[in-house]
Structure 1
Amino acid sequence: MSKLFRILIVDDDDDDQFLIKNAFEAESERFQFQVAMDGNEALEQIKSLDTLPDLILLDLNMPVMSGFEFLNHIKSSQRYRHIPVIVLSTSSDNEDVNRSYKFGANTFVVKPSDSRGLLELANLVRLYWFSLARIPTVRIPEK
């Protein structure tokens, strides 16, 4: 049996959440999704999980806690900074790109505007992050 990969989607847009999850459906038995509407909700979920996500897909523009704030918090934490984070944003602004990498993003991708583009992106993410690249396998230390 193949390894189960856990992906946390942090995005306040229900349609984008749905499209991202559906884009991974081709290999749904390999992926388990958690969804958070903002950075604050994502942090609460991560703190309560028995197993940390293998990958975080992060939108930048969200209420309560922005993607930048979440990214800064995660990558400043000894406990969570190893988790790869892909920023998926509608923004292609160089300031957003630079700021994302400054805060520790592993990748910045401009979110495709249609479902076909999102499907292609999901295929590339699956191929790269879960077939070619080696991702950290860190267990959560006892509290």
Structure 2
Amino acid sequence: MNKSDFAGLTALVIDDEYFMRRLLSALLHDIGFSSVVTTEDGAEGLNRIESTTHAIDVVICDLEMPLVNGFEFIAMLRASREADNPNIPVVIVTGHSEERHVHDAVKLGIHGFLVKPISHATLERRVRQALQSEPIDPEQLAQKPQPMLP
């Protein structure tokens, strides 16, 4: 994939912090995404996925949010009967890099994990990986957790 490969794709950014939504949106546009939709929490994000007529190609989601956090969002998305694609690639973004957070998120079916602060190159690399691969295998993570962290 190159930058033009993101053209025509839509990303959903879910983060309760306005600054992070703006930053991630700008970075995603910069790497080539045509459209970026933002929401403040997991419930709003799931509603957007379930009600949109335009497909969401990848989700960038914070873990720590009030109301519906990232873990709850992923669990609800994967179980959704309303979403056109409940297996949308999800990349988690968080300020917490504890191993248990990584393992808990992987068990829910994420495609990547980013620890704040986020660099342009790392975000692009994780999004590319998410769009090109299956969710992270929890068995492989137990053997070598380093690929999930920046």
Q: TM-score, normalised by structure 2?
A: 0.74
| % identical equivalent positions | 24
The TM-score normalised by the length of structure 1 is 0.77
List per-residue Cα deviations over 1:58-77 (Å, max 9, x = no partner): 10100111111001111123
- 1:5 counterpart = 2:5: no
State the 1:35 CA deviation.
Answer: 0.6
Distance 1:94 1:24, change over 3 A: same
Residue 64 in 1 paired to residue 52 in 2? no
RMSD, aligned CA: 2.2
Distance 2:23 2:97 in 1: 20
1:128–1:31 distance in 2 versus 1, CA, 3 Å: farther
Deviation at 1:134, TM superposition (A): 6.7
Aligned in 2, Cα 1:76/1:126: closer, same or farther, shift over 3 Å?
Answer: closer
Give 1:90 shift. Answer: 0.8
Question: After alignment, is 38-47 or 73-82 more displaced?
Answer: 73-82
SS in 2 for 1:40: helix
SS in 2 for 1:88: strand
- 1:124 aligns with 125
CA distance in 1, matches of 2:120, 2:17: 17
How does 1:1-143 map onto structure 2 within 5 Å?
3-28=7-32, 30-77=33-80, 79=83, 80-112=85-117, 117-125=118-126, 127-129=128-130, 133=132
For 1:97, the aligned partner's letter is: V
**CA distance in 1: counterparts of 2:104 and 2:133, whole angstroms:** 25
C-alpha distance in 2 between matches for 1:61 and 1:52: 25
Task: Identify which range, 52-61 or 102-111, moves more after superposition.
Answer: 102-111
Match of 1:24, SS state, is helix
